[in-house]
Amino acid sequence: MNDAQLHLVVNHLPIVGVLIGFLVFLSGCVIKNPQVKNTALSIFIFSALTSIAAFYTGDGAEEIVENSPGISETLIHEHEEYAELFFTMMLILGGTSLITLILQYKKYALATRYGFVFVLLISIGSMVISKYVGSSGGEIRHTEIRHDKDMIQLNVDYDSDDD
């Protein structure tokens, strides 16, 4: 399995993981169940670990696809920029989740409360960034989801040929 294939396998895990973790965390806050919130923290930690694999297979994937027809260096660069930010956010989220989980088990109530608030805020930010990293990555190969001017022009030209 080459880096491009491995990247395609693992890149969805942190994106989906942060969303699932957020939903579990939110439900734990609503029902005021610390075990559910701890489960969400574990999901965030797992997602942060998978973001390491996704991030470090990205360069190898780029080398494989960058010279393929229809691949835009601009789109790859945009995706890299979002990926770096998302990776940083995920490491912060994973680290904060781990610390909060440890504090929760040691029964530090005040520190845990602030940890949960920080985890909530970082998870929201991570979800926002995940939308951009996922979309920009998909646009590299999937021309049907691109929103650039050239693709719109191609669609207009194609539609006018049918008349």
Encode pLDDT of 84-97 as tens digits.
Answer: 999 999 999 999 99
Instruction: Give the Cβ contact number of residue 108 at 10 Å.
Output: 14
What was the pLDDT predicted at 35? 94
Tens-binned pLDDT, residue by residue, of the chain (163 aa):
888 888 888 999 999 999 999 999 999 999 999 999 999 999 999 999 999 999 998 888 877 777 777 777 888 888 889 999 999 999 999 999 999 999 988 888 877 789 999 999 999 999 999 999 988 888 877 766 666 544 443 444 444 455 4
CA distances, 94 to each of 90, 152, 161 (Å): 6, 39, 52
What was the pLDDT predicted at 22? 97
What was the pLDDT predicted at 85? 96
Write the single-letter amino acid at 67.
N
What was the pLDDT predicted at 145? 62
3-state DSSP call for residue 108? coil
DSSP per-residue string spanning 16-53: HHHHHHHHHHHHHHHTT-HHHHHHHHHHHHHHHHHHHH
Instruction: In whole angstroms, give the CA distance from residue 157 to residue 106.
Output: 65
Segments making up each domain of the chain, as ranges = 3-162
